[in-house]
Structure 1
Amino acid sequence: MNLDYGYTPIPNFSEWGRHRATADPVITYFKGDYYLFSTNQWGYWWSSDLNNWKFVPRLFLKPWNKVYDELCAPAVFVLGDTLLVIGSTHQKNFPIWMSTNPRVDEWKEAVDSFEVGAWDPGFFLDDDGKLYCYWGSSNLYPLYGQEINRKTFKPIGEKKELLHLQPEKWGWHRFGEYNDNTFLDPFMEGAWVNKHNGKYYLQYGAPGTEFSGYADGVAVSDNPLGPFKEQIHNPFSFKPGGYARGAGHGSTFSDKWNNLWHVSTIVVNVKNNFERLLGLWPSGFDKDGILYCNTAFGDYPHYLPTKESYASYTPSGIGGAGFTGWMLLNYNKPVQVSSILGGYQPNNAVDENIKTYWSAATGSKGEWIQTDLGAISTVNAIQLNYADQDVDSSFLGKMKHTYHQYKIYQSNDGKNWTLLVDKSQNKTDVPHDYIELPKSVRARYLKLENIHMPTGKFAISGFRVFGKGAGSVPDKVKQFFVLRGEKDKRSAWLKWSPVNNAWAYNIYCGIAPDKLYTSIMVHNANEYYFKAMDKDQPYYFCIEAINENGVSVRSEVMKSE
């Protein structure tokens, strides 16, 4: 998401370098606007269109709440004409705040001390007017739920255990970057509940926020406090591949047209385990009541919602859920730069890995990076992802009066340049700026020239150019194998014949041929170790090849017992 993320406020979390970070997002539609709260931002955002977000500075902690987290994994919910918020705490001295006009930072206490003391809280208001709180963040304890008096906010009855992880059954519940780490048990956190057709969908994040496989699962019940049973399609929000990876600990919400969306956490994990960002993807329920999230091409440009049923799912990324069809034009293409800092090499800016970046030797005006698309192509949009290199040590928390300024030039020969984007007068903080051109252009070379950095070196983790190449779409993958473990059905080795004119592949997986809801983008490889399955059920797979010109015909769907 194109947001002015704050810097981590915790000094010992940034000993390897000051950096931007947030996670655990909640978006709520309230009085015609969308409100976004997430971890440690010293405020919140609002938007009327899910695209242009305005930040409202606000500190919710009281002097006796002696924690750095302002707020950590906040809960946000609506009661009537009032928006309410509370952060995570193990104590019983956190207030619940309320506002009828949050656009302008008008807040007062609904209650000065919430007695539950919930970490990673989430609230759900049922159709009958009853209010419930769900919480939990642990690799030992389960998720809990409890009814709350909506007038006094006091708990009613006893808390109930709702759900435990089952790594012996669900492969994706296993800890580790490749679900292979045995030194630590997996974490379960971030409870969130939606209701659909009379059923309650309890969502949760697992197995660890620092991993590409950080995902959201869901369990279903006929009652708000259970018993809950895991949905057969799990995890429902999953994005282990591509440029931006991870899709765990989020929330599911409806837009003004009743389209469903899922906002969740993207993993960076370079300067600290808790270095993270936010992603937003179309979501929905299918005809059988299965909750899904469409992350296919989930870090490529998508159209914003304009009407009902915008997010209706089709099993293909192309044409499904608002994807523009604009392809990445400069994956691993030649790069030239003005200077290099140490080992932060130029091609890191075009390798589709959010963890790597190029850094110039300085942050001075005039530093530049140039990308060659390889051929004259149609350019529709550009995403600039800045990296944090040598950020000033004073940058802790949300900083004021920070901004980026730059220019982007276009050329067909690398010698004669025309100004394409002019943000030399920009006064906003845009660490992940997205520029959609009012009219597409034809170009082969693009040059990004720095004018002003808010701090540190001029460093780019992703200079991403989107549009359509001039060549042919990739050939179809001819051979695709799924070798599922004999002794461990949670895991499979996927192998396919390389396509000469492709540099990436989308693997689709699901519980039925018409429910291939899981999507995994793999770059520059022809194998993948998939370790996220339920050991007790069959799965279905297919694959498509990708290049700058488009997407191939998909392979035939195959079943793996």
Structure 2
Amino acid sequence: MRNRRVLVALAALFASTPLAAQQRTYANPMDVDYRYNFEQINDGASYRTGADPVVVNHKGTYYLFQTLADGYWRSTDLIHWTFVTPSRWPMQSIVAPAVWSDGKEIVIEPSMMQPGAILSSTEPDTGKLDFWVRKMPNMEGQVDKDPSLMKPGELPPGPWDPALFKDDDGQWYLYWGSSNIFPMYGQKIGFADGKMTYQTRAEPMLKLHPDVHGWERFGQDHCACWQPGKPSPSYMEGAWMTKHGGRYYLQYGAPGTEFNVYANGTYVGDSPLGPFKYAPYNPVAYRPGGFAEGAGHGSTFRDNAGNYWNTGTSWIGYNWGMERRIVMHPAKFYADGQFAASTRFGDFPHYVPTTKFDDPDSLFTGWMLLSYRKPIVASSTRPGFGTASVTDEDPRTFWVAASNSPGVTLTLDLGAVKTVRAVQVNFTDYKSGRFADAPDIYTEFELQQSLDGRTWQPLARTEPLRRDRTNAYFELPQPAHARFIRYVHGHVGAANLAISDIRVFGNAGGAAPLTPGSISASRHQDKRDATIRWAKVPGAVGYNIRFGVRPDRLTLTHQLWADELGNGATLQKELRSLNVGVPYWVAIEAFNESGVSNLSRVFPIR
């Protein structure tokens, strides 16, 4: 009876609270209703996941496709995404689809190991899909057998992880590949009368070289060992083609989706089938630190203001090594042709612009993380899943409530009254055992604020229409001044109420940290590696190591938490993502709850 009264009270509050003002920001992982995996593992457990995101801009509206979803999403502002249920869909789901808009219709090709159908839509808003090709032909030279038994020149089954590209002259191209052995392939294709033809034989476009490209090495922080002369465990996958300035940027993901270092790289050529040259500034999207780690296997698209964006896959990895979410980062093509996505503070709130931007970093709101390692109290806790996990910025650790009941609370103490601008609540699947078609898979809760922990006021809440919000993000309509933030549970479709992190953003009202000093940067005998050292900055919560191939263009960022670097006066971090034969420069910035320091002097890595 008590739970029923609480639920009724929450429902009344949700119905009466005014809607938030126009939202201008987003935070990674993206706030979409991730679907439950169509297969269950580990004694019937299931989990919500999303990966390999493709965003296309079709007639001014954005459409998001991803792996393991029984449909796709639609948005007009890159902030609010609405799920679209298609009129037909291959089997239970699709994996790593190729999607392309030619301005008239959207073409969708799922990954496939055997020839299958390609879909299209002239009305993607409605979900109406038609067959573009009912069955693809077999590819010349392709065989379906153990790769270890294949002969030189034979092609593996596919196309798996495909990408479609239609050039300005109307010619279609197909790129594909997902392997630690085989390269990425490309070829001309054609469509006519509901049929697809391979107009050229599939030819190798690119492959990994982890012996000279540090970021292509497998493992957490690129630390997996392998012996030269033997196949590398690093995976090349996630083809995508972007044409810019008359040049062709063939993109790929590496070295593995189940690690923090998953990234996007590019080769560049003067024609759609190359030859392609490795870009020395690779990777183009890289985020090995922070909450949303990983940025690989995605797409590049332009918004309605002409800005570029790069999407990718972020690693969760609790229920399964390939449990994932999706992320989106602003990107830019520089005048000299360099392509780079900004991942600096890449999981903090960012503005979505409505006009053209010149500097992707300018979209960072400046709202700092106020919740890191803050104390938090729960009304109930399952043994072994304590509340400290809720503020540790690690999606693989989490709190579990004793019961999934309305009215369960989590109360976060910020330590002092601070200005709160946004909150993100990240849920976890713990022994869920659910499927996407269950009728009760939606998220409902309220966030409350208090100055003293006794008198509470509304802060934010989920709104109708009901949907699942695994990574629920709330930008407040106006700044709130609060010391305590309380989560009040209503409903979650998972079997258990489990939360990995409640992330509070705003400003503590103090001074930003001092500029880091005493910086040194030494390259190792293995030129893929370097050690960066700097003096500890008092009061810093974290640091960004910013590095790149030009001293005036530090496009790569590795974010670190100060309490994980030790207590010494000198701090250090090993970078293992460098390209052999390429010069690098590095600088450090410190941050706390009040802001970001000035960037240090820029030093060569020698």
Does the pair score TM above 0.5?
yes
Tell me which residue corresponds to 1:479. Answer: 518
User: Which residue of 480, 485, 491 maps to 1:441?
Assistant: 480
C-alpha separation in 1, matches of 2:321 and 2:282: 24
SS in 1 for 2:309: strand
SS in 1 for 2:68: coil
**1:341-386 deviations in Å (ceiling 9; x for gaps):** 2222211111111221111111111211111111111111111111
What's the Cα RMSD here? 1.6
Q: Which moved more, 1:342-351 or 1:280-289?
A: 342-351
Tell me which residue corresponds to 2:49. Answer: 21
C-alpha separation in 1, matches of 2:372 and 2:218: 31
User: Which residue of 206, 211, 214 maps to 1:171?
Assistant: 214
Tell me which residue corresponds to 2:39. Answer: 10
Tell me which residue corresponds to 1:521. Answer: 559
Tell me which residue corresponds to 2:8. Answer: none
Q: Which moved more, 1:489-498 or 1:247-256?
A: 489-498
C-alpha separation in 2, matches of 1:324 and 1:498: 26
Tell me which residue corresponds to 2:60. Answer: 32
User: Which residue of 577, 591, 594 maps to 1:549?
Assistant: 594
Equivalence map 1:119-138=2 (5 Å): 119-138=160-179
User: Which residue of 421, 424, 447 maps to 2:460?
Assistant: 421
TM-score (norm: length of structure 1): 0.94
**1:181-228 deviations in Å (ceiling 9; x for gaps):** 135521000110001111100000000010000000000001110111
* Structure 2: runs of 5+ lacking an equivalent: 1-29, 140-157, 227-231, 566-570
**1:76-118 deviations in Å (ceiling 9; x for gaps):** 01234111101001211x1111110011111111111123441
**1:238-297 deviations in Å (ceiling 9; x for gaps):** 010111100000000001111100111001111101100000110110111101000111
> What is the letter of the counterpart of residue 83 of structure 1?
I
Equivalence map 1:100-111=2 (5 Å): 100-111=122-133
Contact (CA 8 Å) 2:530, 2:605: kept in 1 or not? no
Tell me which residue corresponds to 1:361. Answer: 402
TM-score (norm: length of structure 2): 0.87
Q: By how many angstroms is 1:60 displaced?
A: 4.9
Runs in 1 of length 4+ with deviation above 6 angstroms?
none
Contact (CA 8 Å) 1:6, 1:399: kept in 2 or not? no
Q: By how many angstroms is 1:15 displaced?
A: 4.4
Q: By how many angstroms is 1:401 displaced?
A: 4.3
C-alpha separation in 1, matches of 2:99 and 2:403: 41
| 1:228 maps to 2:276 | yes
Tell me which residue corresponds to 2:583. Answer: 538
User: Which residue of 233, 236, 239 maps to 1:191?
Assistant: 239
Change (3 A) 1:527 1:343: farther
Contact (CA 8 Å) 1:504, 1:521: kept in 2 or not? yes
> What is the letter of the counterpart of residue 596 of structure 2?
V
Q: By how many angstroms is 1:153 displaced?
A: 2.2
C-alpha separation in 2, matches of 1:339 and 1:497: 42
C-alpha separation in 2, matches of 1:399 and 1:232: 48
* Structure 1: runs of 5+ lacking an equivalent: 315-319
SS in 2 for 1:178: helix
Equivalence map 1:130-149=2 (5 Å): 130-149=171-190
Contact (CA 8 Å) 1:56, 1:103: kept in 2 or not? yes
C-alpha separation in 2, matches of 1:194 and 1:180: 31
SS in 1 for 2:215: helix
Q: Which moved more, 1:173-182 or 1:276-285?
A: 173-182
User: Which residue of 42, 56, 62 maps to 2:84?
Assistant: 56
> What is the letter of the counterpart of residue 43 of structure 1?
G
Q: By how many angstroms is 1:58 displaced?
A: 3.1
Tell me which residue corresponds to 1:201. Answer: 249
Tell me which residue corresponds to 1:317. Answer: none
Tell me which residue corresponds to 1:451. Answer: 490
**1:61-89 deviations in Å (ceiling 9; x for gaps):** 55xx6xx6x10000101234111101001
- How many percent of aligned residue pairs carry the same amino acid? 39
